[in-house]
């Protein structure tokens, strides 16, 4: 089949719960948080871009194209998805957030298997949908641009206009934990450092 998947990591938000810091660049186990996401997703896709609206040079230093939103008022993840679809050189765009450093190793594989002839496949962790972990056909760009132009901002409302499929990732439920607060950052850092120690001991 040879279907090509490219990815965009969404790092364009305000991160108000983290004191307005640029969340993707917050140190986590000695590296920027987004670096952990990059390491996990790069083997699964052809190329990776980053959706960002500030710290553009710092993100570019990670070796990826950096795509600012066309809108300037931080309209949310859909704007980052639109920028990604406009850039996407492949058949599909995989989207994922910068604040989820434990990316399932089978994310792209499961989403591609689920999408079939649908327009979007969304990950399900066994409890709920994870709408930012999604696979979009590149030709959904026009639909998304029209939705944004009409004032739409909610991911689930846009997905409701598409042929949506669901990918079962219930066996990777723990991989969908996000870092939204300083407390969650500390907990995630402890887990990553412990995993590094275990790997060093092997």
Cβ contacts of residue 182 below 8 Å, gap of 6+? 18, 19
Q: Is the pTM of this model over 0.85?
A: yes
List beta partners, residue 95.
Answer: 8, 134
Position of tokens 């696979």? 135
- Residue 133 to residue 117: CA distance in whole angstroms: 18
Confidence of residue 126 (pLDDT cuts 50, 70, 90): very high
Is the confidence at residue 74, as pLDDT, over 60? no
Confidence of residue 1 (pLDDT cuts 50, 70, 90): very low
- pLDDT at residue 12, as a whole number: 77
Q: What is the pLDDT of residues 95-110, one digit of tens each?
A: 999 999 999 999 999 9
- Residue 122 to residue 166: CA distance in whole angstroms: 5
Q: What is the pLDDT of residues 156-168, one digit of tens each?
A: 999 999 999 999 9
- pLDDT at residue 181, as a whole number: 84
Is the confidence at residue 136, as pLDDT, over 80? yes
At residue 106, φ and ψ (nearest 5 deg) are -110, 15
Answer whether 112's CB lies under 8 Å from 50's CB: no
Which secondary-structure segment (H or E) carries 80? helix 77-87
Q: What is the pLDDT of residues 10-27, one digit of tens each?
A: 997 665 555 567 889 999
Q: Which residues of 21-43 are buried (b: 16+ CB within 10 A; e: fewer)?
A: ebbbbbebbeebbbbbbbebbee
- Residue 124 to residue 92: CA distance in whole angstroms: 19
Is the confidence at residue 189, as pLDDT, over 60? yes
């Amino acid at each position: 089949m040879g279907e090509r998947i490219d990815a965009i990591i969404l790092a364009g938000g305000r991160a108000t719960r983290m004191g307005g810091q640029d969340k993707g660049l917050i140190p986590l186990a000695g590296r920027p948080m987004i670096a952990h996401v990059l390491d996990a997703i790069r083997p699964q896709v052809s190329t990776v871009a980053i959706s960002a609206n500030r710290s553009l040079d710092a993100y570019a230093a990670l070796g990826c194209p950096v795509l600012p939103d066309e809108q300037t008022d931080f309209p949310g993840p859909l704007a980052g998805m639109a920028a990604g679809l406009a850039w996407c050189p492949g058949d599909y765009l995989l989207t994922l957030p910068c604040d989820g450093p434990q990316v399932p190793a089978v994310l792209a594989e499961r989403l591609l298997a689920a999408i079939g002839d649908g327009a979007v496949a969304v990950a399900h962790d066994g409890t709920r949908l994870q709408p930012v972990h999604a696979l979009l056909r590149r030709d959904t760009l026009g639909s998304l641009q029209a939705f944004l132009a009409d004032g739409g901002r909610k991911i689930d409302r846009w997905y409701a206009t598409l042929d949506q499929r669901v990918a079962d990732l219930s066996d990777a439920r723990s991989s969908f934990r996000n870092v939204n607060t300083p407390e969650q950052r500390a907990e995630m850092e402890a887990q990553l450092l412990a995993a590094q120690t275990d790997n060093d001991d092997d």
